[in-house]
Amino acid sequence: MTRTAFTAQWQKISPALSRVGSILASQGPRILYLKLLNRWRRVDYRRMFAASLQDSSLPTAGEEKELAGTSASAGAGPESVTPPAQPLLFSIIVPLYNTQSDHLTAMIASVQAQTYPHWQICLADGSDQDRVQAQVSLMAAADNRISYQRLTQNQGISGNTNAALAMASGDYIALLDHDDLLAPQALAKVHQAIVNQGADLIYSDEMNFSGDISQVSLIHFKPDFAPDNLRSNNYICHLTVFSRALSDTIGGFDPACDGSQDYDYILRLSEQARKIVHIPQILYYWRIHSGSVASDISVKPYCLDAARLALSNHLQRTGQSGQVENNTILSTYRIRYPLAQDLRALIVVHIHHPRDLRHWQRLGVSMLGAATQPGEPATQARQGKLAGISTRWVFLMAADYLDRAGEKTAGQAGQGQLDRWHSASARTAVGLDSAVVALIQGEPVSASINRLVRAAAEPLLVFLNGTVRSLSSGWLEELAQQALRPEIGLATGKITQRDLICQAGLATGIAGSLSGYHAGRVDGEPGYMARLTYVNNISAADQTVMAVSRAHFLSVDGFDERYQSDLFDLDLAFRLSQQGLHHVFTPYATATIRDTRQLTVERLKHRTCDPADHTLFHSLWGKTIAQPDPFYNPNFNQTHARFDQR
């Protein structure tokens, strides 16, 4: 190797070596190994895209029958609907502006290549160059499904899109950018979703490419409809298709949101849609080039301002209030929801081991004070206030734990007395309005907690596992903001141990059971599509860190008292879901724990929970926890929930 070649090679690898050295020095060999392992596991986008092309190149026999416009069966099950008597017509609306010639040709060709034949493409041209009109006119002369209008002036992205929308005569509208491509089976798959499920708003997975279509740089495998994900970023994006009736209801695109006009429109569509369906297939190809948002959002910073406006308008339309802020990752957002000034919270800490009680006594205010915001007076913690929230703490444990921890119980466990923590040393250490509840022998833990809640007046309930060792700044305020929203069942945060994520909410259908989202990932990473940096919808949460409004808790009669000591928290999550409530994970509340074996999901997995509780839980929810998770795309590995490839 020549000296010049060696120097070039060294310059190429030296940044990576520097990064490796930095991780090794600051986090040690264990974290370095895990980071390298996770990098090796990450999605091979080109391989997965190639596989998707092979899987969906030709329509099936059943699809061919549908494409012909016959009244093929709409599918079995409660969601079946009567198929249309006439073939559905799709109007693909495309605003043009000085579109590059080869990009324009490829875009129109991708529509002409659709396996579903009933479509029209509506091209509204705001260009200041005549060449676009000349090029499209030649193509339209050969295909009467191409509709073209030269606008008298450029009306901006929303105005031009509205002009294309006005040209549409189809039953359903599809959005397509002037330099992007549709997969050949895109409309056929959307047609299936409409006929089989009665969908009026449909979206798919998508991929980014540069130059040749084989140069895949990213595939966005999306969750099923997740309203809180959508409030955090425009994850729906492409391909988006909606019914003409839905479009007529909400009107056109808003020029005030130019730059994020599609985000605003999708938010408005989602507010009115009757049936939203996600197709977990790559049906849209988003071209990356200089100046595109897909390449770098900072190329068009006005998009961020428009997105915040779209979210603020969405909150107003839905009767909610909140402050919309840019998040740490560009093009993602955080909403701070207001809290009542006199908010009170009951915090129940379930102690499973004597050493955990000693730990809470020892750390006291130094740990619980992390709930205060920077600059908040320390006196608030001593007065029982955390982040401005009045708190009452209850430590729930077996009676003999108090003796083992060196504390004296004031009453007999069998009497079920709620004993004030009279020990001066203990109360000084904790520094808050705190009490100990000794479990009554033979009474289910679920029943003990229910008694506490029914006797309480606090509108916010927070449940913590005794194994929690620290809590991030502002954790309580963030959980309260989420849990007290009327549509939210449970709110949880990120749970870590030794710099690794244990769970960020719980997913169903992972190896046939429950598993923590992102479990095994190194803490501090943004996660796939930055999902560890913003609020997500999740399938379940457990009492390691769990907040719920007292009203919702009591609306389902609290914890199921048939459970003796375990799994009642997971049971609550699924019963709240049955009431139509959503659960959320927020990254702005983090807890570190001592012992992963105390996590409810681990006790379920390893069958270390009460055998009767395990049997009861599986009899009630066995089928539910085996179902594919709606917020974890089926294209990912289904043996864990780390968002990586099969």
Whether 446 and 595 map to the same domain: the answer is yes
Q: Which of 395, 554, 391, 539 has its CA nearest to residue 477?
A: 391
Domain shared by 355 and 451, yes or no: yes
pLDDT at 62 over 50: no
What are the φ and ψ backbone dihedral angles of 184, each rounded to 5 degrees? Answer: -55, -35
Residue that terminates a domain, selected from 271, 298, 325: 298
Q: How many degrees, rounded to 5, is the angle at CA 600 between CA 595 and CA 603?
A: 80
What pLDDT is stored for residue 590 in this prediction?
96
Residues 283 and 372 in one domain: no
| Helix (H) or strand (E) segment spanning residue 246 | helix 244-250
Distance CA(294)–CA(186), nearest Å, equals: 20
Query: What does the alpha-carbon distance between residue 642 and residue 518 come to, in Å, rounded to a whole number?
Result: 4
DSSP three-state, residue 443: coil
Residue 93 is encoded by which pair of tokens?
Answer: 């609306």
Percent of the chain exceeding pLDDT 90 equals 67
Are residues 618 and 471 part of one domain? yes
CA-closest candidate to residue 195, choices 118, 266, 272: 118
CB atoms within 10 A of CB 436: 27
Name the nearest CA neighbour of 127 among 145, 109, 103. 103
Cα–Cα distance for residue pair 633/553, rounded to 1 Å = 30
Residue at 338 is within a domain:
no
The sign of the dihedral angle between the CA atoms of 601, 607, 613, 616 is positive
Number of Cβ atoms within 10 Å of the Cβ of 412: 12
Q: Which range has the worst mean pLDDT, 141-145, 443-447, 536-540, 598-602?
A: 598-602
Domain boundary among 234, 267, 298: 298
Residues 436 and 540 in one domain: yes
CA distance 314 to 617: 39
577 assigned to some structural domain = yes
Q: Is the pLDDT of residue 495 over 90?
A: yes
User: Per-residue pLDDT for 558 more than 70?
Assistant: yes
Question: pLDDT confidence of 65, banded at 50, 70, 90?
Answer: very low
For residues 351 and 289, membership in a common domain is answered with no
**Residue 247 binned pLDDT confidence (cut-offs 50, 70, 90):** very high
pLDDT attached to residue 644: 87
| pLDDT bracket for residue 51 (50, 70, 90) | low
CATH number at residue 445: 3.90.550.10
Among the listed ranges 64-68, 87-91, 498-502, which one has the minimum average pLDDT value? 64-68
Residue 283 in any domain: the answer is: yes
| Interior angle at CA 18, CA 12 and CA 19, nearest 5 | 105
Tens digits of residue pLDDT in 472-494: 999 999 999 999 999 999 999 99
Q: Do 160 and 248 reside in the same domain of the chain?
A: yes
Looking at per-residue pLDDT, the higher value among 55 and 444 belongs to 444
* First-to-last C-alpha distance (Å) of the chain: 39
Which of the residue ranges 12-16, 24-28, 225-229, 438-442 has the most confident prediction, judged by mean pLDDT?
225-229
Q: What is the mean pLDDT of residues 212-230?
A: 93
Give mean pLDDT, residues 368-376.
50
- Rounded to two decimals, the pTM is 0.85
Closest CA relative to residue 358, chosen from 423, 285, 270, 413: 423
Q: Is residue 49 part of a domain?
A: no
User: Is residue 571 one of the residues assigned to a domain?
Assistant: yes
**How many CB atoms are closer than 10 A to CB 25?**
9
- CB-based contacts of 96, cutoff 8 Å, min separation 6: 104, 123, 124, 125, 126, 127, 132, 136, 160, 178
Report CA 30 to chain centroid distance, whole Å: 29
Residue 640: how many CB atoms within 10 A of its CB?
18
Segment 262-290 mean pLDDT: 95
Report yes or no on 5 lying in a domain: no
Q: What is the pLDDT of residues 289-307, one digit of tens each?
A: 765 554 445 546 889 999 9
Q: Are residues 290 and 356 in the same domain?
A: no
Q: How far is CA 454 from CA 88, 387, 447, 451, 559, in A?
A: 55, 25, 10, 5, 11
287 with 353, same domain: the answer is no
| Per-residue pLDDT, 516 | 96
Q: Indicate if the pLDDT at residue 7 is higher than 60.
A: yes
Q: Is the pLDDT of residue 249 over 60?
A: yes
Q: How confident is the model at residue 215 (pLDDT cuts 50, 70, 90)?
A: confident
Of 215 and 453, more confident: 453
Q: Is residue 307 part of a domain?
A: no
Closest CA to 587 of 641, 523, 514, 521: 523
Does residue 339 have a cis bond before it (omega within 30 degrees)? no
**Nearest by Cα to 361 from 397, 395, 314:** 395
Distance CA 142, CA 105 (A): 13
- Looking at the fold, whether 277 and 351 belong to one and the same domain comes out as no
> Residue 41 has what pLDDT?
55
Which residue in 644, 600, 646 sits closest to 621, CA to CA?
600
For 70, phi and psi rounded to 5 degrees?
-85, 170
Is 513 within the bounds of a domain? yes
Q: What pLDDT is attached to residue 440?
A: 87
Tell me the residue range of the domain where 109 lies: 54-72+80-298
Tokens of 46: 């080109």
φ, ψ at 563 (rounded to 5°): -80, 135
Number of domains the chain contains: 2
